[in-house]
């Protein structure tokens, strides 16, 4: 049974996500002295950034102990309108006192394969990984595409079956574009995953992901099942409208 919380509307979803972020940050800092978070791209997460960078949380969260990563990135420069980093810079980073050394941007301006290798090296260094060890994020935010993708794991792409690398680059035919993404093993090693899903256009997909047959080639979001962690689906009523009954 999915761990699902239905919010009345988008704003309540953003507020709930920010409150969870703050609580998980406190817990991680108390336990390990740092909070390792991967942000998602897309529009839904922008609303949560606005709450986190607002008066209620901006000064509350000890940003000097937070390390920000990204779950995926478009293969564009960080100044490009499509860049997930640029969106986060405008809606969150510019308003908070986080040290630049704690912001681990995917260098997606590099050739795709180089960008993936470089980011994998960043993960190994910041998480101090050795051998085959996986990074364990305290929190990874994910979105859900209408086609069932999450991060940049799209239906029918090799990333869905990646079980070795930490980060891969893949060409997404339907987008006619390259993407960089964390892989299923990294997502499934997280302590907490929070999906943020808003809008009626996601309703049918959300139903199929949560209650339909397991078919990750068609619905990659179904891959996200942390082995020693939790998944929370934070959705609004519009996105949940196909779940009732």
Residue from 143, 155, 159, 216 binding ligand 6PG (CB under 6 A)? 143
Residue from 17, 51, 151, 231 binding ligand 6PG (CB under 6 A)? 151
Is 44 a residue that touches ligand 6PG (CB under 6 A)? yes
Binding mask 85-124 for ligand 6PG (x = CB under 6 A): ----------------------------------------
Q: Are 146 and 42 in contact (CB under 8 A)?
A: no
Q: How far apart are CA 185 and CA 162, in angstroms?
A: 8
Kindly indicate which of the ranges 97-105, 115-123, 142-150, 229-237 contains the residues binding ligand 6PG, using the contact rule CB under 6 A.
Answer: 142-150
Q: How far apart are CA 218 and CA 202, in angstroms?
A: 15
Nearest approach, Cβ of residue 29 and ligand 6PG (Å): 26
Q: Which positions ≥6 away from 25 have C-beta within 8 Å?
A: 35, 37, 61, 62, 65, 66, 138
Q: What is residue 234's three-state secondary structure?
A: strand
Q: Which residue is nearest to ligand 6PG (CB)?
A: 143
Question: Which residue ranges make up the site for ligand 6PG (CB under 6 A)?
Answer: 40-44, 71-72, 84, 143-145, 149-151
């Amino acid at each position: 049974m999915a761990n699902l919380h239905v919010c009345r509307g988008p704003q309540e979803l953003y507020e709930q996500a920010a409150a969870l972020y703050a609580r998980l940050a406190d817990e991680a800092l108390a336990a390990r002295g740092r909070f390792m978070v991967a942000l998602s791209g897309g529009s839904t997460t922008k609303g949560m950034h606005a709450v986190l960078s607002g008066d209620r949380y901006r000064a509350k969260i000890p940003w000097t102990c937070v390390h920000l990563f990204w779950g995926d990135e478009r293969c564009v420069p960080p100044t490009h309108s499509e860049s997930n980093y640029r969106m986060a810079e405008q809606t969150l980073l510019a308003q908070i006192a986080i040290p630049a050394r704690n912001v681990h941007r995917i260098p997606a301006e590099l050739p795709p394969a180089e960008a993936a290798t470089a980011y994998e090296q960043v993960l190994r260094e910041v998480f101090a990984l050795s051998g085959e060890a996986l990074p364990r994020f305290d929190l990874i935010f994910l979105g859900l595409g209408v086609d069932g993708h999450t991060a940049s794991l799209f239906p029918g792409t090799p990333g869905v079956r990646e079980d070795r690398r930490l980060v891969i680059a893949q060409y997404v035919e339907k987008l006619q574009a390259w993407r960089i993404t964390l892989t299923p093993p990294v997502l499934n090693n997280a302590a907490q995953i929070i999906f943020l899903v808003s809008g009626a256009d996601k309703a049918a997909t959300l139903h199929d992901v949560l209650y339909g047959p397991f078919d990750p080639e068609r619905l990659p979001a179904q891959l996200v099942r942390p082995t020693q962690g939790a998944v929370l689906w934070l959705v609004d009523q519009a996105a949940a409208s196909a779940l009732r009954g």
